[in-house]
């Protein structure tokens, strides 16, 4: 059981953002491609074996989530060279699925359950494997983020909150809901063709529609494998099919993941300061969406181990004290108004009013206002020769994940002279 000191502060008003409809290309960091020769006929014939006998258990009653997925796979096996090449790659990296299962363990049961609720192909539960290698903190150079590599435009369209405090793309609950909403939209957009829909998730619906249209004009077939698409997308669907075929045929080990709830959510009706760093280190892998620890602001919930749900709910409910010592304060000057102050500090008027328990927008000179910003020291670090993310994070005693998140870094490479923003807590 966790034990920590929570400090409840007043609720904040959520700032909803606008929306767009076109998905950018989620450029997750792919594993290096190793060209391995494989005999497609041999691999394909092996995959035609029937699924192992699992009756009379239903998929939900199996012990392993991977086997729960396996029991419901519906996409046909493919002998296409792109699929077989990816199968060969997987088989040449036998330890790859060990790491995937380790990362997926907290999330996979939840994702599978959500896919089943919608009665859509169970193969879609494997998409985070292709998108992010099940890395919830993944961030691409195209600004796609999280398990499902959602771009800002798609996240906003599907009502995923992104603010200076919270990025729902890196929250398994918010991102899974949005990603599956998007997939259902694309399925309808492409007249019930899942391969086209999956390709459009990666590339954008407009470019896939143009590829289909071009083939029609030339009298060519319009199935996925006949389309002229960028290399990343032409390999995207085959990667998913290859993983599904290997799971179906059991030619590769997928380390077991318990078929039961691993996580739960604790509702955050306002905002919370979780000021125990050791405990946050345990929760951070489940809450990458919380950007500025120790403040949990704008987050609709906290993701916790399923076994700790009641304890966390009780601790949050029992907090009655307000402590603003960690927050910036502002003294109202002549000419100030809430809108002027809000614009200056990049917050909303409603946030200012909520934080200061103001029933109107009237303020007076000399009045002290609490700003919904931690009293952190923000510094700019200029990268020197020989420095790495690890060295810089270690120097400032912050995590590499946060350092990358603060600076929108998709990889680990730095150049001499790069400027990095670092937040140092004064608490």
Distance of alpha carbon 371 from alpha carbon 204, whole angstroms: 40
Q: Which residues of 152-190 are buried (b: 16+ CB within 10 A; e: fewer)?
A: bbbbbbbebbbbebbbbbbbbbbbbbbbbbbbebbbebb
Active-site positions? 131
Distance of alpha carbon 273 from alpha carbon 318, whole angstroms: 14
For residue 284 the two structure tokens come to: 């951070």
CA distances from 279 to 181, 205, 275, 312 (A): 33, 42, 9, 12
Angle at 347 between CA 345 and CA 348, to 5 degrees: 135
Distance of alpha carbon 24 from alpha carbon 230, whole angstroms: 13
Q: What is the DSSP string of 343-377?
A: HHTT--HHHHHHHTT-SSS---TT-EEEEEEE-PE
Q: Please, which residues have CB within 8 angstroms of residue 84's CB and are 6 or more apart in sequence?
A: 38, 40, 43, 44, 242
């Amino acid at each position: 059981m966790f034990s920590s000191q929570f400090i409840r502060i007043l609720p904040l008003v959520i700032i909803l953002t606008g929306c767009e409809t076109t998905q950018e290309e989620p450029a997750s960091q792919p594993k290096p491609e190793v060209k391995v020769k494989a005999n497609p006929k041999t691999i394909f014939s092996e995959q035609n074996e029937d699924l192992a006998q699992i009756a009379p258990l239903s998929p939900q009653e199996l012990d392993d989530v991977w086997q729960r997925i396996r029991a419901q796979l519906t996409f046909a096996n493919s002998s296409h060279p792109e699929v077989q090449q990816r199968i060969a790659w997987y088989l040449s990296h036998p330890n790859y699925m060990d790491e995937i299962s380790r990362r997926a363990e907290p999330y996979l049961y939840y994702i599978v359950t959500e896919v089943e609720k919608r009665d859509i192909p169970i193969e879609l539960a494997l998409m985070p494997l292709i998108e992010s290698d099940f890395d919830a903190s993944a961030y691409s150079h195209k600004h796609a983020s999280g398990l499902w590599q959602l771009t800002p435009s798609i996240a906003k369209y599907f009502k995923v909150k992104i603010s200076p405090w919270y990025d729902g793309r890196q929250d398994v609950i918010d991102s899974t809901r949005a990603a599956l909403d998007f997939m259902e939209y694309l399925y309808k957009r492409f007249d019930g063709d899942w391969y086209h829909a999956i390709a459009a998730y990666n590339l954008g619906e407009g470019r896939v529609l143009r590829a289909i249209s071009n083939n029609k004009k030339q009298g060519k077939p319009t199935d996925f494998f006949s389309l002229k698409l960028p290399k990343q997308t032409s390999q995207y669907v085959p990667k998913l099919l290859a993983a599904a075929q290997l799971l179906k045929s059991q030619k590769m080990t997928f380390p077991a993941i318990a078929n039961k709830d691993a996580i739960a959510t604790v509702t955050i009706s306002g905002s919370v300061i979780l000021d125990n760093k050791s405990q946050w280190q345990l929760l951070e892998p489940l809450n990458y969406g919380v950007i500025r620890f120790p403040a949990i602001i704008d987050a609709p919930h906290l993701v916790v181990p399923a076994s700790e749900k009641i304890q966390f709910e009780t601790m949050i409910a029992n907090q009655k004290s307000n402590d603003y010592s960690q927050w910036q304060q502002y003294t109202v000057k002549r000419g100030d108004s809430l809108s002027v102050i809000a614009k200056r500090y990049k917050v909303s008027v409603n946030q200012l009013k909520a934080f200061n328990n103001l029933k109107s927008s009237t303020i007076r000179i000399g009045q002290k206002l609490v700003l919904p910003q931690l009293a952190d020291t923000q510094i700019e670090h200029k990268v020197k020769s020989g420095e790495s993310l690890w060295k810089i994070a270690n120097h400032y005693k912050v995590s590499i994940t946060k350092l990358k998140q603060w600076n929108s870094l998709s990889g680990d490479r730095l150049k001499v002279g790069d400027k990095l923003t670092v937040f140092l807590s004064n608490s």
